[in-house]
Chains A and B, each alone.
Chain A
Amino acid sequence: MPDAADILRLESIKVHFPIQGGLFDRVLNRPAGAVRAVDGIDLNVRRGEIVALVGESGSGKTTVGRVITKLAQPTGGRLLFEGRDMTSVQGTSALRPYRHRVQMIFQDAYQALNPRHTVFDIVAEPLRSLRLVKNGTQLAERVSEALAAAGLNPPGDFVSRFPHELSGGQRQRVVIAGALAVRPELIVADEPVSMLDVSIRAQILQVLIDLRDKYNMALLFITHDLPLAWLIADRIAVLYLGRLVEIGSADEITFNPRHPYTIALRNATPQIGGNPCRAELPALQGEVPSAARVPKGCRFHPRCPLAFDRCRQEEPPTVEVGSRHMSACWLNER
């Protein structure tokens, strides 16, 4: 549902990675197939909204984030930012205005920091590359402002340190400071707290929520943790093997899930308070299939306890099951 308030819109985005076939395949000129990491997803994020993208490992969450931040080129679909088609925009200078407005927080804070750069260099890099400051004073001002906003106080204590001289939580704050230094309108946060221990998690989440409240910044929060998504997000999108199986408000998805996969995820985490789930369902069996061999029909059917004939044959359409609540399951037809 297109909306004027949408800052970001993904329209049937696909990312298929070609598989390098073996010698045998090449001699026989046999196509080796593709890893369908993202297989046609529609998603919109509104200005100032926090949307959580939830899914198991390998479901394609990071790939979606990389498409949005222009690190991966989609093999199909469109990426729209404020209604402008950004899908085929390429090149450092052409992307500069976009990078100014869309930033990313990476999954592994240690890997995301160049071990030979100081905290100052790291946070200053986007400001310099995107030419957002005129002189050194302004640069130092923006860097310390960003460090303070990310909770590194006083900034002067951190600027000349190297990444290995920081704790895990401090490193993640440096990554956040680098992303928010340019004052973006959308941040893609890829599992920003999954590597941190519980006490630091809450602080980092608070930093992100404050950013939204203060600057009306939109956030796409990628996580594998449904309760965490419920805690931080306005809306939740559930990703399974490269497709969104359910999207809706955080409360709807958590307390009134309609897709068997979401129900299973929900039941696997009994610590969420409030009313119990509508449907009772046995626990999930089996492993997530490889994105290189996506099952025919509904891609969830091999693991679905409620699967029937139609699920094995046809892929279910995404239909509205409540107010702004969409689900892709044949059970919705009944």
Chain B
Amino acid sequence: MSDRIVQYSPSGRAGAIKGFLSKFLGYGGAQLGLLCLVFFIVLAAVPNILVGPLETAGTATGDFLAPPSGQHLLGTDEVGRDVLNMVVHGARISLTIALLATVISLILGTTIGMTAGYYGGRVDVWLMRLTDFFFVMPSFVLALVITPVVLEVMGRGREILGFRPSLFVILVVIGMTSWAFVARVVRSQTLSLKERTFIDRARVAGSSNFSIMVRHILPNLVPQIAANGALVVAGAIYVETSLSFLGLGDPLQPSWGTLLSLAQRAGAASAGAWWYLGAPGLCALTVSLSFVLIGNALDDTFNPRRRVIP
């Protein structure tokens, strides 16, 4: 009998992942998006090695608003700081905020959307009302409401998880305003998944509702969550940039949006300092687009209509 006992090794899973990767990387958009992303992640990972520590008005060496040259590849700002230095440091702030906000948004959106779709009835009605409320809530208004509260509670100079309070607010605001989109997508997918026969089989097998959600529904939501997660990051970059541009950022931890805001206030546009506005703007645009490309490629990869095996 003992020779009949199986050795269970999840090698099939590895094969499935390999198949997924080869299909995903077959899309040109995915390749381009990943390439850009890797580039910016490297910038964000080691800014000090690449361009030295973040320059301040005190450590600035260049002329005021000097155009790009051999010494300052992307020119300088109104107090003589190197724009390249600030953009590279800004990558870290912008990407971290966008990714963390996306994590918040995915966790909230998936939990709420899955619970609403799975239980249905009154639970669904109330959770979807909450979702609709956050869906229409403008992020800027929410930021204006939350900022004073956080500053009051935390104190202006303190840091939360390594973020200065105003950046923490942006993080929370993006997380809170983008989960509703995820929740809607997840709910509708859950509604169709829960009618599948394998859910009935799990019930006959004695599995609890929690275990059915975690072991049966969640794994089948991964395609939607991944594809929409990439779109949420793109949106988060955009919202972060606009909130910072509107002055909610922190000059001591400048993101791309903060740089745009500084440039705007320094009159970069009227002074013809295109490098000062263009560099952070182009970065935000590129990263945002890369995530859209990746999201679309993920969607195509997982899209059941195009898959050979449903």
Contact = CB atoms under 8 A, between A and B. Distances in A.
B202 A156 contact: no
B196 interface: yes
B49 interface: no
A140 B6 contact: yes
Interface residues of B, number: 32
A66 B215 CA distance: 22
Contacts of B198: 111-114
A103 B205 CA distance: 8
A108 B203 CA distance: 16
Given A92-B207, A125-B207, A160-B12, A106 B201 contact: yes
Contacts of B219: 114, 116-117
A90 to B, nearest CB: 12
A113 to B, nearest CB: 6
B271 interface: no
B197 A99 contact: no
A268 B12 CA distance: 47
B305 interface: no
Contact of A156 (B6, B11, B216): B6
B69 interface: no
Contacts of B215: 117, 125
Nearest to B222: A116
Contacts of A99: 204-206
A289 interface: no
Chain A contact-residue range equals 35 or more
A89 to B, nearest CB: 13
Given A113-B198, A156-B6, A160-B9, A104 B204 contact: yes
A154 B4 contact: yes
Nearest to A125: B205
A144 interface: yes
B16 interface: yes
Contacts of B4: 144-145, 148, 154-156
B59 interface: no
B201 to A, nearest CB: 5
B136 interface: no
A193 interface: no
A118 interface: yes
Nearest to A71: B200
A112 B197 contact: yes
Contacts of A154: 4
A291 B211 CA distance: 35
- Which of A111, A125, A137, A141 has most B Cβ within 10 Å? A125
A162 interface: yes
Interface string A294-324: 0000000000000000000000000000000
Contact of B202 (A95, A111, A125, A162): A125
Given A111-B198, A114-B220, A130 B206 contact: yes
A129 B8 contact: no
A99 B208 CA distance: 12
Contacts of B5: 137, 140-141, 144
Contacts of B196: 111
6 contacts: A66-B200, A69-B204, A71-B204, A107-B197, A111-B198, A162-B16
Interface of A: 66, 69-71, 92, 95-96, 99-100, 103-104, 106-108, 111-118, 120, 125-126, 129-130, 137, 140-141, 143-145, 147-148, 154-156, 159-162, 164-165, 175, 178
